[in-house]
Amino acid sequence: MRVGILTSGGDAPGMNAAIRAAVRCGTGLDLEMVGIRRGFAGLVDGDLIPLDNRTVGGIIEHGGTILRSARSEAFLTQAGRQSALDTVESSGLSGLVIIGGDGSLKGAHWLDTHGVPSIGIPASIDNDIYGTGMAIGTDTALNTVVESLNRIRDTAISHGRVFVVEVMGRTSGYIALMGGLAGGAEIVLIPEIPISLDRVATLVKQGQNKGKLHSIIVVAEGFCPKGSPKEQNGSAGQAVNNFLNENKSIEPRLTILGHLQRGGSPSAFDRILGCRLGGKAVQLLKEGKAGVAVGLSREKIIAVPLEKMGQKSENIDLQIYDLVYKIAS
């Protein structure tokens, strides 16, 4: 068997660990491993490279992906998808391991239903993928957010100010919620629970009345204030900051963490998760099983049908949301 591996969508720390494990476990199963560079774009263009145990040496500690990643508009077209199928046939690929987020796993499902046995590995710092408790990259991103909040709090305390910190999460508030809890935020704003900006200002003032001289508000980038249009000018963090700035009794400062959350050496958790999922993926292909994504559920590796990708993740726990505000009081 000849198996191709690609990484697609936004990079996530731990992708290299998954690549390394898939290659070395695959080699141990007498599989010939091939890397596809630049995700689905490379599959469309036929950009393939051989992978062996030495090729993937010394990469487990690095963030990003040695295979690089890209968002492919071509793969969304009929012609592009046919080119991808042609690449699979001309290269003699017997199966694919596709590492990426929700959109990437939907692409894996399409390939699987069109005759290319495919296994998906969830990698997304947003942790918004159905069927897995944790995706590769989430834990590292959380650690980055918490470290940033620790540093911001030093300044917030010194100057007695409100800091608005925007983190990633277009459709899921997981990073904001868990990062806010671990980082001691007073307020967390997530897409799943819209509240009005008037309510945010009231919460800040209530804290001030209790003697809190500083506050940290963590905002997921996909947060939309209650009563506001879905499409807004500027970022969610900017909208919150601007509204509070109009209130003379509140002096906010805005920090947008942005792509800082994507990079850096993966945490031990993400390295271990990448290894476990990468090894399981090639094992399933060797056994003739495909059409699934491997994920983590209660410390066990499970297989979730690719056809379920796109369903809403269940990783937001509203009890934790309530806990943030109980502790902040």
Catalytic residue ranges? 126
Rounded Cα distance between 280 and 228, Å, is: 45
CA atoms within 13 A on the CB side of 43: 35
DSSP 3-state of 240: helix
Helix (H, G, I), strand (E, B) or coil at 234: coil
Q: Which of 325, 35, 298 shows the shortest CA–CA distance to 189?
A: 325
Residue 323 tokens read as 């806990």
Cα distances (angstroms) measured from residue 256 to each of 213, 234, 241, 261: 22, 12, 11, 10
Using alpha carbons, select from 93, 82, 13 the residue that is nearest to residue 50.
Answer: 93
Q: Give the C-alpha separation, 109 to 124, whole Å.
A: 17
